[in-house]
Amino acid sequence: MNILLFGRGPSRVDLKKVPSIYTISCNENYPNANLIFAIDSPIIDGLLANKFKGLEYQTIFTTYKIFERYNYSKRIMLFDEDRLFGGQGLSTGTIAIGACLKWGFSKIFLSGFDFSIGGSSLEKLNYVISAKTDYSKIYRIGDEIIEGLPINQIKPTDFERIYK
């Protein structure tokens, strides 16, 4: 099974059409996603208050510290990044990528991941990679190629052809 993750990076707008594929929104970046990953209280406050159209009902995976504060909501689920990845201060997107690898998805497509903002840097990605073969499962979608990125990089037109 394949999955498409949406981050906040500028390359998110490169993907014009989203096919029928399982999706994850990192924070509030993709309405109507199947799941949400969020680790910041202001984002979760907005999600639980239904301030983001299209993101009113999905399960929200979060880290232990945030889970303790919001576990009253049936939408909140714990994803223990400390146990799985050693608690390295990872970004929402990096945690979501790691989760998809742990859950065994065959291909993990990324839209809006530019690996240049805070905890989503390339070095942080290495904390969630457990084998060299994991790199071959990850596909960054974008019109621009990022030099030195050890994952697959494809154009939006290529994604339309290979996502199935």
pLDDT digits (tens, 9 = 90+) for 125-163: 888 888 888 999 999 999 998 888 889 999 999 998 898
Please give the backbone phi and psi of residue 154, each rounded to the nearest 5 degrees, phi first.
Answer: -130, 155
90 residue type, one letter: L
The 8 Å CB, 24+ separation contacts for 60-64 are 60/35, 60/36, 61/35, 61/36, 61/37, 61/96, 61/99, 62/37, 62/38, 63/39, 63/95
Query: pTM of the prediction?
Result: 0.93
Residue 102, SS3 per DSSP = helix
Domain boundary assignment for the chain: 2-162
Q: What is the mean pLDDT of the chain?
A: 90
Going by pLDDT thresholds of 50, 70 and 90, the confidence category of residue 119 is: very low
The percent of residues in the chain predicted with pLDDT above 70, rounded, is 95
Q: Please tell me the distance from the alpha carbon of residue 4 to that of residue 46, in angstroms, as a whole number.
A: 23
